[in-house]
Amino acid sequence: MSAQIIDGKVFAAQLRSRVAGQVKRLKEDHRITPGLAVVLVGADPASEVYVRNKGRQTTEAGMSSFEYKLPTDTSQADLLALIERLNSDPEVHGILVQLPLPKHLNADLVINAIDPAKDVDGFHVSNVGLLGTGQNAMVPCTPLGCLMMLRGHLGDLSGLEAVVVGRSNIVGKPMAQLLLGANCTVTMAHSRTRDLASICRRADILVAAVGRPKMIRGDWIKAGATVIDVGINRVARDGKPHLVGDVDFSSAAEIAGAITPVPGGVGPVTIACLLANTVTACCRAHGLPAPEGLAV
C-alpha cells in the first residue's frame, strides 16, 4: 500500500475540540449555550445508534441536547407541530430530523418546515439555493466534512479536477457545489454514467458517494489522486456483518496518493460537522460572526 490514510477519527477529534472551545467562549463571554434538537420518528436500529451518538457528542462538547423520540405512527400534523415549537424555542439553535422517515410522512414537507436558520442538515430548499449561489448557507454535514478533509490534506484546491460519483441531495449535489466553490473543475457522475472508469481516471479528487459496495477499483484511479469514500455499505463476510465503502480499499490504496478508510474516514467527521453547524447557527442567531474553521 502506498497511499496515505486520511484518518477521520483524528480529524473529527480536532474539529470537536475546536467546537468545544467555541462553546466555552460563547458560554463565558455571552452566556449563551448552543442547543441541538434531534427528532427521531420510529425505531430503525441504525438511526437509533446515530441519534444516540449525536446526543452524546453534543453534550460532550458542552452544548444542550434535546432528543425527541416519536412513535412510528406519528402523524404529519403532530410532527409539524413539534417542528413549529422547536423553531420558536430560543434555546434550540439547530434542528435535525433523522432520515429516513416512515413512509406515511412527507420528508420534503417536514424538512422545509424547519426554520432555515436552524437547519443544521442544510437540506431546506433555502439553504440548497444559498449554497448553489455561493451565499452564506447551512451546508450539509457530510460534504462539509469531506471538503474540510480535502483542504486539510491538499490545501488550496483551485484548478484541480474533481469527480463526484453519486447525485444524492444529501451528499453528491452539495459536494459538487462545494468543490465548484473551491475552484475545482467538477464532473458529476453516477450509476448510469457511461464509461465511469475513464471519467474517474481523470480525477485529482475522487469523491465516491454512490452507495454500491467496492464499486470503484484501483484501476479506475489516477496515480496520486486523493480519494474520499463516503460509502457505508453493510455486507456479510464469513457470516458476520461488515462495513465497506464504495471504493475497493485494498486495490485503491495501491494507486491513490491519499484515501479515507471505511470505517474511520468520513463517518466520524460528519457528526463533528453537525456540532460545528450548530455553533455556526447559534452565532448567526445572536448576530455574532461564525467562528473561523467551523464553516466554509
> What angle separates helix 45-60 from helix 8-30, to the nearest 10 degrees?
50
Site for ligand GUN contains 278 (CB under 6 A): no
Between 144 and 252, name the residue whose CB sits nearer to ligand GUN: 144
20-40 in b/e form (b: 16+ CB < 10 A) is bebbeebeeeeebebbbbbbb
Q: Select the residue interacting with ligand GUN from 70, 80, 99, 130 (CB under 6 A).
A: 99
Q: Is 96 in the site for ligand GUN (CB under 6 A)?
A: yes
- Asked if 86 interacts with ligand GUN (CB under 6 A), we say no
Read off the C-alpha cell for 13. 477529534
The Cα 180–Cα 175 span in angstroms is 9
Residue type, 1: M
Catalytic residue among 98, 173, 177, 229: 98
Give the residue with the Cβ less far from ligand GUN, 204 or 265: 265
Q: How far is the CB of 210 from ligand GUN (least distance, A)?
A: 15
x-marked contacts with ligand GUN along 126-165 as a string, rule CB under 6 A: ---------------xx-----------------------
**Residue of the chain from 170, 272, 275, 276 that contacts ligand GUN (CB under 6 A):** 170
CB-wise, 51 or 225, nearer to ligand GUN? Answer: 51
* DSSP H/E element including 35: strand 35-41
DSSP 126-181: HHHHHHHTTSS-PPPHHHHHHHHHHHHHHS--TT-EEEEE---TTTHHHHHHHHHH
| Annotation marks residue 98 as catalytic | yes
Give min distance, CB of 221 to ligand GUN, in A: 26
Asked if 247 and 229 touch (Cβ cutoff 8 Å), the reply is: yes
Q: Which amino acid appears at position 271 of this protein?
A: I
> Active-site residue 4, yes or no?
no
Strand-pair partners of 65 = 36
User: Coil, strand or helix: which one is 244?
Assistant: strand
User: Binding to ligand GUN by residue 58, rule CB under 6 A?
Assistant: no
Residue 208 to residues 34, 123, 167: CA-CA distances in angstroms?
Answer: 33, 20, 10
Say whether residue 98 binds ligand GUN (CB under 6 A).
Answer: yes
**Is residue 183 classed as helix, strand or coil in its secondary structure?**
coil
Binding residue count for ligand GUN, defined by CB under 6 A: 8
Active-site residue, 219 included: no
Closest CB to ligand GUN: residue number: 99
121 binds ligand GUN (CB under 6 A): yes
Q: Which is nearer to ligand GUN, 209 or 282 (CB)?
A: 209
DSSP 89: -
Q: What residues between 180 and 239 interact with ligand GUN by CB under 6 A?
A: none
Residues forming the active site: 54, 98, 121
Q: What is the binding site for ligand GUN (CB under 6 A)? A: 96-99, 121, 141-142, 170
